[in-house]
Amino acid sequence: MTAGCPGCEGGTAPLLASPGCAERALAVAEREFGDPRYFVVHDVTAAAYRVQHPDTVTPHSVAVGPAVLQGAVEQGLSGDALQKRIRWAAPELWAGWHTTHTTLAAALRG
């Protein structure tokens, strides 16, 4: 399996980040941690990366990603409200995500 990212560099392995994508994610994180004006969106950018590249992070992190994105995009949550959603989602979503991801990963790996 090649380590390509279809959203970033046209690779063939949808669960893995390409080196270029990983470098861009690191640059974004460095900017977020270096400037409080950018840090306010860190939960959203981290969740987006985790959802796009589930094999690069823990299953627990990926389970929370969709709930974070939904809270931020559909419900307009940010700051403390988004952190509260993250704390709620973590235990609630783990069991269902684990089953879905295991099935999906097995199908993609063929």
When divided into structural domains, the chain yields a total of: 1
Cβ-based neighbours of 4, under 8 Å, separated by 6 or more: 10, 11, 12, 13, 16, 18
At 69-86, the pLDDT tens digits run 888 888 898 888 888 877
Residue 2 located in a structural domain: no
| Structural domain of 93 | 19-109
For residue 63, report the phi and psi dihedrals to the nearest 5 degrees. Answer: -60, -35
For residue 88, report the phi and psi dihedrals to the nearest 5 degrees. Answer: -70, -45
Residue 105 located in a structural domain: yes
DSSP type of residue 57: S
Q: For residues 8 and 17, what is the distance between their CA atoms, to the nearest angstrom?
A: 8
Residue 65 located in a structural domain: yes
In this prediction, residue 15 carries a pLDDT of: 64
Q: For residues 57 and 81, what is the distance between their CA atoms, to the nearest angstrom?
A: 24
Residue 55 located in a structural domain: yes
The neighbour count for residue 24, using CB atoms within 10 Å, is 15
Answer yes or no: pTM beyond 0.85: no
Report DSSP letters for 4-25, one per residue.
--TTTT--S-TTS--HHHHHHH
At 13-69, the pLDDT tens digits run 556 677 777 888 889 999 999 998 998 888 899 888 888 877 766 766 777 888 888
Residue 58 located in a structural domain: yes
